[in-house]
Chains A and B, each alone.
Chain A
Amino acid sequence: MIPAHPHSWLIISVSFAAALAITLFPVPVLLAPLRPDWTTLVLIYWIIALPHRVGVGTGWVVGMFQDAATGTLLGQQALGMTVVAYLVLLLYQRIRNYPVWQQAIIVMIFVALFRVIGAWVLGVIGRPVGFSYWLPALTSMLVWPLVFLVLRHIRRRYHVV
């Protein structure tokens, strides 16, 4: 176990908070269903980059906060994030070596999986989802290169280890 590194944790927490803030930022009604899953993208990035530091537990905590912030059932998105975090932890060595566009496709699959779990929970509580529920998987794929480059810049600039 690597000793805690307060400076790294600060940067990582701030990046998650920023992602959550972007998620909450009001956009026109027509664009709202297209909103990418920013926090999931940030989570996937940090797991690929620092698998020894960010993992399933982080995913769960971030998911809980996102649930509380966006008013979904407490645990709905946390469950999805936990499962996605686990799979990314299994595959991070492979994903790391892919070019960015190929990572984007993998990311789309992860976000779709995250949404499948959410849809399952919503189905259990009797709220079936429509077509627009799945669109964020596509938009997340499109913004992944941006998220990746920005977070990599931040990681190198501030020596987050």
Chain B
Amino acid sequence: MDHRWHYVDTVRSTMSAILYPLQVMVDLSTSPFRSISHYFTSKAALIEQVETLRIRQMLLETQLQRMVTLEAENRRLRRLLHSSMETRQETRVAEIIAVDLDPFSRQVVINKGSNDDVFPGQPLFDANGVMGQVIHVGPFSSTALLITAPSHATPVEVNRNGLRAIAMGTGAPNRLNLPFIPNNADIRVGDILVTSGLGGRFPPGHPVATVSRVENLPSRPYALVEATPTANLDGIREVLLVWTNPTNELSEAETEPSQVTPEANHSP
């Protein structure tokens, strides 16, 4: 029943609410280990880290200034073309709760739930790329499936030429499989795969993985293509939740309310 029809989702979300204190407790009990490792980081290393981050911040701010104008221009052009493709997004930071789930299914628990408008199917990112999507939502926490899970498939396209493909999880922590790519397709090692937006779950244009291996198998119809996820799937605590169609309350908080155009509401 749980597998196909989701009749028992309410049961599951109630149970996850009951279990939330336990998860937080486990999470807190791991914090001494983290603080020990902080304690042993030297002052020089910290200064260096701050310095690097400051430089990076500056570079990114400059890029962001350009990005703002580009985004505005892009929206204006799209309106001219009557295209309904939505580029605006709402993001919020969630934290991964340090609990281990079933080691064979590649899932994580995050500390935001339906109280924070998280919904099933919502995409999850980190600073480098796509991480996965939310599958179960409880009131205070939710469970997300990583893109490396064997049961997860991400619609992607090659950034260089727009070749569409599907990136299947393998269960291994940093490997994706791209089945059904013909032997003569134009794909090379080092190509960046971005989300294609097909399937409607992931917004288009976010980096997913870099191609790490391409092997043509003349005896088979399809080539063997493997890729490495760009997101740091194992070693990160802060993740970004993305709302592609912001809720009313969020768009009111937006600084430029005039940009909520009618065609934005019609977008799928």
Contacts and interface: CB of A to CB of B under 8 A. Distances in A.
A122 to B, nearest CB: 8
Contacts of A70: 101-102
B266 to A, nearest CB: 36
Given A20-B22, A25-B30, A127-B151, A71 B2 contact: no
B205 interface: no
Contacts of A71: 101-102, 105, 107, 109, 136, 143
Contacts of A27: 100
A107 to B, nearest CB: 21
Contacts of A25: 26, 29-30, 99-100
B99 A64 contact: no
A24 interface: yes
A24 B11 CA distance: 20
B12 interface: yes
Contacts, number: 77
Interface string A13-30: 000010011011111010
Nearest to B11: A74
Contacts of A64: 15
A102 interface: no
B102 A72 contact: yes
Nearest to A34: B103
B25 interface: yes
B29 A24 contact: no
Contact of B173 (A29, A68, A72, A75): A29
30 contacts: A17-B22, A20-B22, A21-B29, A24-B99, A25-B26, A25-B30, A25-B100, A26-B26, A26-B30, A29-B234, A33-B103, A65-B15, A65-B19, A68-B12, A69-B15, A69-B16, A69-B19, A69-B22, A69-B23, A69-B99, A69-B101, A71-B105, A72-B102, A72-B105, A73-B2, A74-B8, A125-B3, A127-B104, A127-B105, A133-B104
Given A24-B99, A69-B99, A74-B2, 4 more contacts: A20-B22, A68-B16, A69-B16, A130-B104
